[in-house]
A and B are shown apart, each in its own frame.
Chain A
């Protein structure tokens, strides 16, 4: 085949074949057994896939697949149970932390986590979020904050930034009319029931590593039964932000992170 008629992809494949690097000895990256072999439905560049993967890796590394029950929300990650190879329950919109409470209360020695987006956790489910954290349920809440309703097509979320455009704030979020973005992570950090509250991101390799470390710590803390662990992951939504994945991550760094600064909001005291 003439090099000029090759597509970029074919060219890339040929390069790899020539280098012969795709051999078992060279494998550095595998699918953990806690991830199913299913193509994800998420849009290109979406943070959900990475967030799913780090949760799956942590469960595999800790060897707790047989002791972990996850709760999926309503939102883009409603089908999380298609990808995570663990027992899972799909909750009604906003109720994932109540569902997780029910599971944890009858199975206090198992590991239970909920995985929720901003609309789910900080709008319709605010009551459940606050009270679950206030009771100090010994669960992990993973909160994906991308400042928009993804699944329903880009409507304003409780965490949409001031001035940020969405299909229901087409002229930008006017805080005098629509209220301010809700920093619910800051809020739950104030509650005595929370044990570990942190804000991470998955926009760069270093941040992915930090987010994974936070998730891992949270599962380890769960064994101590000292309260709720709450990990916010500031994420993106290239499709509804109307950006390429690269632009979306750049926008996240320049706009989301100044408003939602990364780091621990509450660390275990010991």
Chain B
């Protein structure tokens, strides 16, 4: 049966997917360019599924409400944009260490500081290299279409529960604001089964459940860390996702995540029209990063151009993947400026094709 297509704005499509995924609770605070998530849920969610939707007094309160509610074993989430996500970092660190599942959505805007309300990708480091304090990792999915804004919601919840870990959907302001056609999934049921670790009231037949990230004994705390690291190694083994477009015969590879990957696909078409064989490599999971796939690709190509809406963040991981086998160049725009396909092609010719001829 062919499903109905709908024309939806990225933020609203994501919010609709949240309801359809059977999410139990959303806690959030308004911030441009993602306020439509809270608005859409406030209008639609409670009446349709009975889901809790609460506007908190701050992002700090939001993430701590998520922490409390996630501890009950329910499907819970928050969303925000860059400055708000900065405020949540302490809470994310607690959630990661306490091993609780939840979804956090960052519809990025350009920074630093108050920055701009236009799209950006400058939260890559914050998202995949820590952000908060301590050794933890944030499983991160980077959508490049409104359809993926929808699809990644349920995927994120599944991964969060599979590994008892917070999962981030790292989008950007353009994806949040633009309209595209989407196919929506079926309505899932709200959470019925409560996991054994959840704090829902201690019954006689079990020990009390404690959700904490504290151990005063350094050896106990080291073991907590070792357990976390073991989990991250499993995630790195099992959950790497990426997309390759026209990479088989390519001489040059454009590497980009999110929206920029689609601009790169257009740039690759323009390049092929000029006879330059270009492919696009798009990491879908930013953590775990597809190091191996990129490394293999390096054997068959002449060079890489990494394109981002920041000053050069993911390019460090691309270099770590390529390990010096081939040149890795970078082109970035900042402050909310989106690079054009022509500009990317020009940079590719300038930095790689011209140099290597």
Chain A residues within 8 Å of B, Cβ to Cβ: 65-69, 71-72, 78-79, 81, 85-92, 95, 98-103, 105-107, 110, 127-128, 131
Contact = CB atoms under 8 A, between A and B. Distances in A.
Contacts of B175: none
B201 A98 contact: no
Interface string B186-218: 000000000000011111100011111110000
A106 B64 contact: no
B64 A99 contact: yes
A87 to B, nearest CB: 4
Give the bracket for the number of chain B residues in contact with chain A. Answer: 35 or more
Interface stretch (B51-59, B139-147, B279-287): B51-59
B74 interface: yes
B54 A105 contact: yes
A106 B210 contact: no
Interface string B104-138: 00000000000000000000000000000000000
Nearest to A103: B68
A65 B64 contact: no
Nearest to B95: A92
30 contacts: A65-B201, A66-B201, A86-B208, A87-B199, A88-B208, A88-B210, A88-B212, A89-B211, A90-B211, A90-B212, A90-B214, A91-B68, A92-B67, A95-B60, A95-B64, A98-B60, A99-B67, A101-B68, A102-B27, A102-B64, A102-B69, A103-B69, A103-B71, A103-B199, A105-B25, A105-B52, A127-B61, A128-B57, A128-B61, A128-B64
Contact of B201 (A67, A89, A92): A67
Contact of B52 (A95, A98, A106): A106
Given A81-B208, A98-B60, 20 more contacts: A66-B202, A66-B204, A86-B208, A87-B201, A87-B209, A90-B214, A92-B94, A98-B68, A99-B64, A99-B68, A101-B54, A101-B61, A101-B68, A102-B68, A103-B69, A105-B25, A105-B52, A105-B65, A110-B201, A131-B56
A66 B25 CA distance: 23
Contacts of B91: 92, 95
A102 B72 CA distance: 9
Given A66-B202, A95-B91, A110-B201, A89 B57 contact: no
Contact of A100 (B27, B52, B68, B202): B68
B342 interface: no
Contacts of B61: 95, 98, 101, 127-128, 131
B66 interface: yes
Given A89-B71, A105-B25, A98 B64 contact: yes
Question: Of A85, A86, A91, A103, which is in contact with the most chain B CB atoms at under 10 Å from its CB?
Answer: A103
B210 A87 contact: yes
Contacts of B69: 102-103, 105-106
Contacts of A102: 25, 27, 64-71, 76
Interface string B87-98: 000110010001
B169 to A, nearest CB: 20
Nearest to B25: A106
Contacts of A98: 56, 60-61, 64-65, 68
B36 interface: no
Nearest to B90: A92
B210 A65 contact: no
Contacts of B67: 89, 91-92, 95, 99, 102
Contact of B212 (A81, A85, A131): A81
A95 B76 CA distance: 18
B308 interface: no
A127 B209 contact: no
Contacts of B25: 102, 105-106
A90 to B, nearest CB: 4
B148 interface: no
B93 to A, nearest CB: 9
A71 B68 contact: yes
A68 B201 contact: yes
B24 interface: yes
Contact of B72 (A78, A90, A107): A107
Question: Of B66, B94, B98, which is in contact with the most chain A CB atoms at under 10 Å from its CB?
Answer: B94
B121 to A, nearest CB: 28
B58 A65 contact: no
Given A92-B94, A99-B64, A131-B57, A106 B72 contact: yes
Given A107-B200, A127-B57, A128-B57, A101 B211 contact: no
Contacts of A107: 72, 200
A161 B325 CA distance: 67
B94 to A, nearest CB: 5
B202 A85 contact: yes
Contacts of A92: 64, 67, 90-91, 94
Nearest to A69: B199
Would you list the 6 A-B pairs with minimal beta carbon distance, nearest first? Answer: A102-B68, A99-B68, A102-B65, A102-B69, A90-B212, A98-B64
Contact of A99 (B24, B65, B213): B65
Contacts of A72: 212
B202 A86 contact: yes
Contacts of B204: 66
Interface in B261-303: none
B57 A91 contact: no
A68 B25 CA distance: 20
